[in-house]
Structure 1
């Protein structure tokens, strides 16, 4: 089956969260505000956060994410609290290989919402959605070995640490070699 024919919902819900695809326009401001508020924490781990993007750059990024969602190249979800509708971060199914089929889960959280289990809840929903609805046979989470907060999520959710790839990548700032933890869950 051609993946473009998949009927993928634009919104998922958990007990406390709403995960929805980026709108065609208008999400740039709230996402940019979260990046701005969280830049010091995000900068350590994410290449896109080395410089603060403008609202327009964030809007462009989200419009492209919307297009990728429709084309089934990746599925980025913006995460909101059900109570109050506060934006708390993003989680994505990315790096999709439809031949296997498999993907990688990526995520980041607004600093002020960190430590409440929101991202674990969102990733749990995406893993369930990916394995049981889209029918991925393998889902991966990759993160730097020193990113303890990011590593805690796949470990809590029963992903298997397949290995630590030594000198596998560059740090977010491009200055140092880093080790990458490779976690997976399979169906």
Structure 2
């Protein structure tokens, strides 16, 4: 089946969270504020956030995410606490989707003020269930820098297999040094 014909929900709910596609007016303000609040932590791990993006840049980022969602190239979800949906937790996505092999990579970042509550683990678990049960994916990966202990905790807690660590595989987020990349996978 052509992926464009897949019925993809624009919102998923867990016990404590709402995961929804980034398409509502005002999303850029919410996301922009969270990036500012979390900037010191985000810039250590994500090359995308070496500078605080303008509101316009954030809006473009979200519109591109929505376009990729519609094209079935990636599925980025904004994460909110259940019960009103005002507390923005972060984002989680299925990206680098290969529909022939039926595999993808999972990416995520969290608003620092919500870190340490298990929210991102809960959101990623929902995406794993969605990927295997709704999209019939056969392999899902999480890749992260070996020193990013908080990020590594999520696949380890969710039972992913640590397939290995690629040494001197990438540049640090700021481009100043080589880093090692841990690869975790789960297969269906």
| TM-score, scaled relative to structure 1 | 0.98
Whether 1:150 aligns to 2:145 is: no
Deviation at 1:26, TM superposition (A): 2.9
Whether 1:82 aligns to 2:88 is: no
Q: Secondary structure at the match of 1:108?
A: strand
Whether 1:28 aligns to 2:22 is: no
Counterparts of 1:59 and 1:25, CA distance in 2: 10
Deviation at 1:89, TM superposition (A): 0.1
Deviation at 1:35, TM superposition (A): 0.2
- Report Cα offsets for 1:94-147 as digits up to 9, x if no partner: 000011010000000000000000000000000010011101100000000000
Counterparts of 2:25 and 2:175, CA distance in 1: 31
**Cα separation, partners in 2 of 1:176 and 1:167, compared to 1, 3 Å:** same
Please list every run of 5 or more consecutive structure 2 residues that lacks an aligned counterpart in the other structure: none
- Report Cα offsets for 1:30-83 as digits up to 9, x if no partner: 000000000000010001110000011001100110010000000000000013
Count of aligned positions? 187
Deviation at 1:24, TM superposition (A): 5.7
Counterparts of 2:61 and 2:10, CA distance in 1: 17
Please list every run of 5 or more consecutive structure 1 residues that lacks an aligned counterpart in the other structure: none
**CA RMSD, Structure 1 to Structure 2 (Å):** 0.8
* Regions of 4+ moved over 3 Å: none
